[in-house]
Amino acid sequence: MRQLILISFFTLISILSFAHGGEFVTINNVNIEETETSYIYHFQFKNINERALSDIRIDLLINSKPVQFIEIKSIKNRERYTDKQFTIAKDGFNIVEDVVQIEITEVYGKKSHWGGWHSPNLTFKKKIAMGRLRGRDWTTKQSNTLYSESYADAPWRMKKLDENGNINSIPVHCYIHDAHKLVGLTLQLDYINIRIKNSTATNFGPVLKYNMLNDAAFKAMFSSKSPNDPQLEIQEFKDASFTSSNDYTMDFNEDSDFFGDDYVEVDEPYYYFTFNIPATDLVGMEDIIDLEVTFSFANFTIDDETIGLRVFRSSDDLPSLTDWYRGDTHLHSLFTQNSAETGLPIEATIEAAKLIGLDWFTS
């Protein structure tokens, strides 16, 4: 899906969202200019506190190996931005697969990790290296980070059976947040895959697929879908935007590009839905189930995101008392809008809360 095909020899890609700043300096406003033979990484060295600086070194690393550097003898007081660039020859370099870092390694001649920038695929590669993907790290991503982010969540604990003794489906909430903050591109959601396994198993089973169902039956498995709400900047999740597939759990195909790739464009702060894993996929499984949810994007600069979840199922209700109602007094939701915390939409939270055994919550 990630095709890098030249339309012209001078393409400019702006990717600002992967800077990691220090206390004094950082790298900002990275733009990649594509020519016939090279990629030119234009960037700004930012003097955060506008103080006089000297003996600065900025290194270019490819796959963690230093390949070039720039030295700046001095920067004057109040000089906030300094424009610089690195040029990388295309020969032997893969902009999709190779990890590019622009790191400030010396200030005042002192070596340290002063700040820098990395290409989008570094986060994914680091997770692979640390064993935090493919079912080894069972924590829900809940922190709020800069720019677009993808979340998956499910009840950490839930009732295994409904009031009629039938197996409950497992709701998996998928949520894309702040897609509008991507610079220079629009987020293109290609497909989502879900796999499950018993917690005692080493490997996941195959991708859950529903191509044998008719369209109405497949789309009945979705709930808590984001409405069209311009006032709250919520993008509508449309039934017509996706289908079942021979390859994926759900395949998004509302939009397409010149090369025939299909996807749905997400460009609002909030876009979400819940997919309910049906009881037919859960028959015979143990009470502790692991889930792997993968968001795949058609944008070649954005890596797939894989999130691991663990759900504990119980046939027993939580203990209760007459006229006593269990709840949560502190819960973040979609309406928590700050740089440190975020939460899921109210509709999805209600679905999960009922299965967990809560009677109420405040947000």
pLDDT tens per residue, range 252-271: 999 887 667 899 999 999 99
At 59 the pLDDT is 94
CB–CB of 10/33 below 8 Å?
yes
Instruction: Give residues with Cβ within 8 angstroms of 48, minimum separation 6.
Output: 21, 22, 23, 24, 25, 26
Residue 132, pLDDT > 80, answer: no
Instruction: Dump the DSSP string for 47-112.
Output: ETT---EEEEEEEEEETTEEEEEEEEEEE-TT--EEEEEEEEESTT--TTTS-EEEEEEEETTEEE
* Structure token digits, residue 331: 């819960």
How far apart CA 344 and CA 142 sit, in angstroms, is: 9
Residue 363, pLDDT > 80, answer: no
Residues 328-355: pLDDT tens digits? 888 888 887 666 677 788 888 888 888 8
Residues 139-151: pLDDT tens digits? 344 455 556 788 8
Instruction: Give residues with Cβ within 8 angstroms of 216, minimum separation 6.
Output: none
* 89-98, 196-205, 276-285, 306-315, range with the lowest pLDDT: 89-98
Average pLDDT along the chain: 83
* Structure token digits, residue 16: 């600002």
Residues 209-264: pLDDT tens digits? 999 999 999 999 999 999 999 999 999 999 999 999 999 999 999 988 766 789 99
Q: What is the mean pLDDT of residues 71-87?
A: 92
